Structure 1
Amino acid sequence: MVSVHVQPCWFCFSQRILDCSPETSGAIGLELDQQQSDVRIRLRFLRGLIMRTKCNQAKWVLLGVALFLTLSAASWAQMTEYQENQLLGMESHVDNLTGHATAGAALYKRFCIGCHGVIGDGEGENAQWIDPKPRNFTIAQFKCRSTPTGTLPLDQDLFDTIGRGISNSNMPQWRPLTAEDKVNLIAYVKHFSTRWTTEKPGTPIEIPPEPEVTADRIKTGQALYKRLECWKCHGVEGRANGPSADTLQDDQNRPIKPFNFHDNTKFKCGSTDRDLYRIFMTGLDGTPMPSFADNIKPDEAWDLVFYLRSLQPMHSKEKAIAKQLGLKPIDPNAPAPNAPASQPENK
């Protein structure tokens, strides 16, 4: 019979040294199962404890976030209410009249809120049906101004717009309003933007006296129309069908159409020659129509006025002179009158 010596193996488990010899393996197996069961119970307990700890931590984090948001919202609400009260102290001044925002609130709700919205952002309930879209008063950017591009308008400019309306839009002439109503309404419109508290209106541009209409001035105006590339938007005949016409957008990335001189007699910001001159030199802020104050001389702007008048449908002195001249639409590809003729290539 062969004697077999079994080398004991040692296990360290739960801080005890167990002799795992064959003689005791059965008992050890039962104890090991019990130990493993205890470990599983302890692991489940620890896992539950960790989960409860994480849950409690999450609760505290969420509670902290909620408290922060509540305090921030309360602070924001207080600041908003404070700013609102400050802005409701806004005034307007036209001649010897002084308008007050608090007095204009009821007028705005009655006449303006449907298009321009409760907060003056141009998103009233009627806005979705209107083209072009109503003005957004919160950014204090206005088309019809006597001041340079990028600056705030005068109160008088807003007064004139309310009384005149804006042609080719849904902004009517508010004839039922008295002068006092208008200045109060202007003050309320101004209260929608803090720009009026940090900036002053620009200095009105100077408009020189209108010169006599002549054939030379109309021809010079046509040359300017080409050089300034007005035709790219308004078309070679002023029909608003230039190559860029379908791509134009306003300051809020909404499609906008150029003015059609061929079919319209009134401009957005008036109907006189001075109104058209002013548009050239101030631009229509919020639209692709720029100011040409840095591109043409003050006297040249009158030449452009006269040429554009010759494109309009009504009978005018400018149109009669253009007809006598046999003036044809511009050719964008033709060289400028003073430009040297291109030489044929040598072959």
Structure 2
Amino acid sequence: MMESRPDRGDLLPVYQPGGMCGRWAVLLVFIGALGCDRGPDSFPVNRVFARNQKLARTLDEFDTPRVTVLLKDIDRVVTRYFGVPGDPLMPSCEGVELGPLFALADLRHAAGFVEQEAGHVEPGLYRDLCVRCHGTSGDGSGRLARGLNPYPRDYRRGIFKFKRTPSTLPPTDADLHGVLLRGIPETAMPSFRDLSPSQRGALVQYVRYLSIRGLFERAVMMEVAITFDDDDRLLDPKQQEVSPTAYARQVEMLDAILNEVVQPWLDVDEQMADVPPVPADYDAPQSTARGRELFFTTLTNCGTCHGNTGFGDGQTEDYDDWAKELEPANPEALADYLALGALPPRYAEPRNLRLGTYRGGDRPEDLFVKFKNGIAGTTMTSVATQLTDHDIWCLVSYARFLPRDPVFREERGAESRE
């Protein structure tokens, strides 16, 4: 099924799980990965979020001297800490050791331009394998992104779905490695199992770098929106000579913002969900029956989105957190965001649990984590405070039972014979 995008002229089929369009979109991703994409050697300023924070209240305001200077200041500040795509920097700030998060050699291995030497790929892994979908800055708006469903992840929000940490806390290294190893079923995200461990490790570091960079840029914009007057400068180079004390205060403020952004990433290993061993009888009939009961209670509200039969046909007119930031109910604001390069928001699609394929891992313990923590950025909330671990295992049992439900299989068999 082709979904047209009149604002781009039907350049690509929209990827849908299964079917011809899905195969074509995935093929395009891999064909694109074969070539050499130098791309820009600067990160684009997040103008969409600048509009969201009302640094510019209209599109025309982006051309005013005040906003032009402000966005240049923001770009200069972010570049000061993080460098550019072809020459990333390991950010540093007073009193914070970032060594556990980044190794400059790994960042350079993942970043930069693609160079073919002696038949192997040298620095530029991200640009070679990822940028066409995820974009130079990790904004999820690469040149193939508009034709994919779901859209590629926007790393700049710092929100990741498939992880063992609760709520919107950052993922661990193991979480990101897991996504690279498994891929994400029924999306255009392939497995990178064929890469060496060191290559996957470099990509993990670079994804984290892009995410922290994006969060820092957003935090700086929020600080400007809340505390700055029209004539304030973010980091005025002239002050370094004219008023070193004032310049030092500006740097101190920026260091504090970076510190606040990176601290959750430094503490992430302490926040992982505790996953008890899978009970031997977790999928016993009585456990499945209990899981079904819980599935339809207000304690979990699973049926609200996944539907009474688990087909994912419950609540189908809601947005995830990435789309909500585009204010889809505000036509004027949405039109501005789209003009600034945002992808058109789409309704979130609750998982069809009858398929028996699960993004982010399909082992019982993987589903346990999804129920216990929820899935960040979506309406699937944590049940950790409502249910015991025993009840969560019962939900896992029911979810894994749905694809092999004999009543469902009998009904589908009858339909296929008609």
> TM range, normalised to the smaller chain?
0.5 to 0.7
Given that 2:168 and 2:377 are in contact with CA atoms closer than 8 Å, whether structure 1 keeps it comes out as: no
Larger displacement relative to structure 2 (284-293 or 150-159): 284-293
Given that 1:208 and 1:299 are in contact with CA atoms closer than 8 Å, whether structure 2 keeps it comes out as: no
**1:144 and 1:218, CA in 2 relative to 1: closer, same or farther beyond 3 A?**
same
1:153 equivalent in alignment to 2:245: no
Deviation, structure 1 residue 298: 1.3
Give me the whole-angstrom Cα distance separating, in 2, the residues matched to 1:197 and 1:278: 24
Given that 2:184 and 2:190 are in contact with CA atoms closer than 8 Å, whether structure 1 keeps it comes out as: yes
**Equivalent position amino acid for 1:256 in 2:** A
Highest Rg: 1 or 2?
1
Of 280, 287, 296 in structure 2, the residue corresponding to residue 226 of structure 1 is 296
Give me the whole-angstrom Cα distance separating, in 2, the residues matched to 1:205 and 1:189: 22
* Aligned pairs for 1:282-297 within 5 A: 282-297=373-388
Give me the whole-angstrom Cα distance separating, in 2, the residues matched to 1:99 and 1:216: 54
**Equivalent position amino acid for 2:374 in 1:** G
What is the aligned partner in structure 1 of residue 273 from structure 2?
205
What is the aligned partner in structure 2 of residue 124 from structure 1?
142
Give me the whole-angstrom Cα distance separating, in 2, the residues matched to 1:237 and 1:226: 10
Aligned residue-pair number: 248
Give me the whole-angstrom Cα distance separating, in 2, the residues matched to 1:76 and 1:98: 23
1:257 equivalent in alignment to 2:349: yes
After superposition, the C-alpha distances for 1:263-312 in whole angstroms (9 at most, x for unaligned) are x2220111111111111112111122111112211121100111111111
**1:117 and 1:73, CA in 2 relative to 1: closer, same or farther beyond 3 A?**
closer
After superposition, the C-alpha distances for 1:20-50 in whole angstroms (9 at most, x for unaligned) are xxxxxxxxxxxxxxxxxxxxxxxxxxxxxxx
What is the aligned partner in structure 1 of residue 311 from structure 2?
239
**Equivalent position amino acid for 1:258 in 2:** P
After superposition, the C-alpha distances for 1:83-103 in whole angstroms (9 at most, x for unaligned) are 223973278979xx9972222
Q: Secondary structure at the match of 2:271?
A: coil
1:133 equivalent in alignment to 2:131: no
Gaps of 5+ in 2: 1-63, 92-97, 112-123, 216-260, 324-345, 409-418
**Equivalent position amino acid for 1:102 in 2:** R
What is the aligned partner in structure 2 of residue 60 from structure 1?
none
1:85 equivalent in alignment to 2:83: yes
Report percent identity of matched pairs.
28
**1:226 and 1:99, CA in 2 relative to 1: closer, same or farther beyond 3 A?**
farther
Given that 1:92 and 1:184 are in contact with CA atoms closer than 8 Å, whether structure 2 keeps it comes out as: no
Give me the whole-angstrom Cα distance separating, in 2, the residues matched to 1:278 and 1:92: 29
Structure-2-length-normalised TM-score: 0.54
Larger displacement relative to structure 2 (188-197 or 109-118): 188-197
What is the aligned partner in structure 1 of residue 248 from structure 2?
none
**1:272 and 1:99, CA in 2 relative to 1: closer, same or farther beyond 3 A?**
farther
1:301 equivalent in alignment to 2:392: yes
**Equivalent position amino acid for 2:90 in 1:** G
Give me the whole-angstrom Cα distance separating, in 2, the residues matched to 1:69 and 1:136: 25
Of 100, 103, 106 in structure 1, the residue corresponding to residue 106 of structure 2 is 100
Given that 1:250 and 1:287 are in contact with CA atoms closer than 8 Å, whether structure 2 keeps it comes out as: yes
**Equivalent position amino acid for 1:279 in 2:** K
Of 280, 285, 291 in structure 2, the residue corresponding to residue 215 of structure 1 is 285
**Equivalent position amino acid for 1:84 in 2:** F
**Equivalent position amino acid for 1:191 in 2:** Y
Deviation, structure 1 residue 104: 1.1
Question: Which structure would you say has the larger RCO, counting Cα contacts within 8 Å and 6 or more residues apart?
Answer: 2
Given that 2:160 and 2:168 are in contact with CA atoms closer than 8 Å, whether structure 1 keeps it comes out as: no
Given that 1:92 and 1:100 are in contact with CA atoms closer than 8 Å, whether structure 2 keeps it comes out as: no
After superposition, the C-alpha distances for 1:237-283 in whole angstroms (9 at most, x for unaligned) are 211112x1x21211122311111111x22201111111111111121
**1:188 and 1:179, CA in 2 relative to 1: closer, same or farther beyond 3 A?**
same
Given that 1:143 and 1:284 are in contact with CA atoms closer than 8 Å, whether structure 2 keeps it comes out as: yes
Given that 1:158 and 1:186 are in contact with CA atoms closer than 8 Å, whether structure 2 keeps it comes out as: yes
Structure-1-length-normalised TM-score: 0.65
Give me the whole-angstrom Cα distance separating, in 1, the residues matched to 2:403 and 2:67: 59
Deviation, structure 1 residue 168: 2.0
Given that 2:312 and 2:350 are in contact with CA atoms closer than 8 Å, whether structure 1 keeps it comes out as: yes
Given that 2:318 and 2:348 are in contact with CA atoms closer than 8 Å, whether structure 1 keeps it comes out as: yes
Deviation, structure 1 residue 209: 1.7
* Aligned pairs for 1:13-24 within 5 A: none
Give me the whole-angstrom Cα distance separating, in 2, the residues matched to 1:143 and 1:276: 13
Deviation, structure 1 residue 116: 0.5
Q: CA RMSD in A?
A: 2.9
**1:72 and 1:301, CA in 2 relative to 1: closer, same or farther beyond 3 A?**
closer
1:184 equivalent in alignment to 2:202: yes
After superposition, the C-alpha distances for 1:104-123 in whole angstroms (9 at most, x for unaligned) are 11111001000111111101
Give me the whole-angstrom Cα distance separating, in 2, the residues matched to 1:73 and 1:150: 28
Given that 1:101 and 1:186 are in contact with CA atoms closer than 8 Å, whether structure 2 keeps it comes out as: no
Give me the whole-angstrom Cα distance separating, in 2, the residues matched to 1:272 and 1:256: 24
Give me the whole-angstrom Cα distance separating, in 2, the residues matched to 1:221 and 1:92: 44
What is the aligned partner in structure 1 of residue 132 from structure 2?
114
